[in-house]
Structure 1
């Protein structure tokens, strides 16, 4: 089996990159130090970003093929390694690399290649928020991640909705994130309206996993609501429990 170092070196060779991306994405769990190797190897992150930006022209009009989607998702899987590793997470944020993924989250096509692309991109953001870190939340709040997640929560597949809701939940669980979303009526009602719509949709397509994340979002929102809004939150839980019985 080729070493991580050898496969990473192949990433900067255009003729070998596709196979190297596939091999590394499949074997990334077997290489515990893959993230630092990727980050500190000359030209590697640039090669991964090149893969990402190369499909921007396919986003609108939507012409993304399954092959192109799979290839860039392999690159995103490697970036997820970098985002989740404690030694490279801050470097990843300081380089503003998540911003390269936002055009993918802004797509609306429901075809399989686009859905896979959105889901994998959300996985990178999900890896960032999985570990409680206010610096991560501060960075994300300085970007358009909230409206992008809300869009996915409304129109994505069940799995994409679940990951997007998890990201919003983790942002809310941080005091900075909760204060940000509850700072204005516009932000608060944007989030609560999407959550309410999702509960209605669950009546047709139930999902215990998704409902759990929605309830956790509502629970956290209730920590910072004015007393006049508390009644609506309690009513929500009452109807959710009735719905699930």
Structure 2
């Protein structure tokens, strides 16, 4: 195995990296090894590959994930120490997930099914929030790869209802990441078709978006608004969604409430809102023409 490219050129430092990876197999030495690797993850170009191909490394990280399950299912409050430990393990998993080859392998071997339960924790404590954000970070990294197989996998999980819940009730950062996850999922044709297929599914999504928009009028967050507008626009690309969107779309989206110049975090707000409204207006005009063309009953 070739040595990774690192800022430090001394052979001893490279040997240390291999030593820490080997120590992931041992429960007694795992925490220290995870902390050392996590701290240096941006300086080790091949860290994801090294972890994936090293004997026992992935298994050791998986044991850390599974160890937190009792806290999830028995509703035991996470301590800061537990949260820090598992977030470190998830951070190393993200190093693997960000690699295009390994990301798809994580999906194919069902690795993500071990991370998804962590999103079911409903507590809003700081310890749980750090875990939640870490898992969402892995999912965002996977979705950035633009691989349709990854989107299809997540559509078969509880990701959409879980992210919709956090989009409505989560912290600001959770909302930002969940909005991004939803948009990236719908960006793919398979995701749009999935969201548009059943009435109950569409209603859940569009009602949640409407409630989030009302929240944004009270507590503005341009980064969330940006993705919400793009989700609406993407949903409007499917003709079966247009009637519901027009019926349930909050007035603030149509009356220019959010059209501010230079909105930090969503500088293109005016343009994107105008594009969305043009899509919806075309459909309204089309419906009007169809109604006018209908023969009157005598």
TM-score by length of 2: 0.78
For residue 88 of structure 1, the aligned residue among 98, 102, 106 is 102
By how many angstroms is 1:228 displaced? 3.0
Match of 2:253 in 1: 237
Match of 2:264 in 1: none
- For the 8 Å contact 2:206–2:245, the answer to whether it is kept is no
Which position in structure 2 is the counterpart of 1:123?
Answer: 137
What does residue 35 of structure 1 align with? 48
Q: How well do the aligned residues superpose, as a CA RMSD in angstroms?
A: 1.7
Task: Summarize the Cα distance change of 1:235–1:223 in structure 2 as closer, same or farther, 3 Å threshold.
Answer: farther
Q: Is the 8 A contact 1:36 1:87 kept in 2?
A: no
Q: Which runs of 4+ in 1 moved over 6 A?
A: none
Looking at both structures, which has the greater relative contact order when contacts are Cα pairs under 8 Å and sequence separation is at least 6? 1
Matched, 1:7 2:12: no
Structure 1 residues 38 and 134, CA gap change in structure 2 (3 angstroms): same
Secondary structure of 1:127's aligned partner: helix
Distance (Å, rounded) in 2 between the aligned partners of 1:133 and 1:9: 31
Larger Rg: 2
Gapped regions of structure 1 (runs ≥ 5): none
Q: Distance in 1 between matches of 2:258 and 2:177?
A: 23
Query: Unpaired runs of 5+ in structure 2?
Result: 1-7, 261-298
Aligned residues: 244
Higher helix content, 1 or 2: 1
For normalisation by structure 1, the TM-score amounts to 0.94
The 5-angstrom pairing of residues 1-245 of structure 1 reads 2-3=13-14, 4-59=17-72, 60-226=74-240, 227-229=242-244, 231-232=246-247, 233=249, 237-239=253-255, 241-245=256-260
